[in-house]
Amino acid sequence: MSNSKYIVGNWGTTSLKLMLIEVCDEDVKVLEDREGPGAKKVQQDQFGNVLFEVAADWLDRSDGNPIFLAGMVGSTIGWKEIDYLDVAICEKSKFLETVCFQEQGREIQIVKGLKYQSSDGEFDVMRGEEVEIAGALAEFPELSIGEQVLCVPGTHAKWVKLLDGQIQSFSTSVAGELFAGLKQNGVLIPSNSQLPVEPSAYFEKGVKSALATQKAFVHQLFSARTGQLLKGETAAQAAERLSGLIIANDVAGALMRLDDLDQNIVVIGNDSLVDRYCLTIRACGKRATPMVTLKASSLGFSQIIQSMKL
Domain with CATH 3.30.420.300 in the chain: 4-141+295-309
Question: Which residues of the chain does CATH 3.30.420.310 include?
Answer: 173-291
* Fold of the domain spanning 173-291: Nucleotidyltransferase; domain 5 (3.30.420)
pLDDT at 3: 81
Contacts made by residues 87-93, CB under 8 angstroms, sequence distance 24+: 87/114, 87/115, 87/116, 87/167, 87/168, 87/169, 87/170, 88/116, 88/117, 90/166, 90/167, 92/164, 92/165, 92/166, 93/137, 93/144, 93/165, 93/166
Query: Per-residue pLDDT for the chain (310 aa), expressed as one digit of tens each?
Result: 468 999 999 999 989 999 999 998 778 999 999 999 999 999 999 999 999 999 999 999 998 999 999 999 999 999 999 999 999 888 766 789 999 999 999 999 999 999 999 999 999 999 999 999 999 999 999 999 999 999 999 999 999 999 999 999 999 999 999 999 999 999 999 999 989 999 999 999 999 999 998 788 999 999 999 999 999 999 999 999 999 999 999 999 999 888 657 779 999 998 899 999 999 999 999 999 999 999 999 999 999 998 887 5
Top CATH class of 4-141+295-309 equals alpha beta
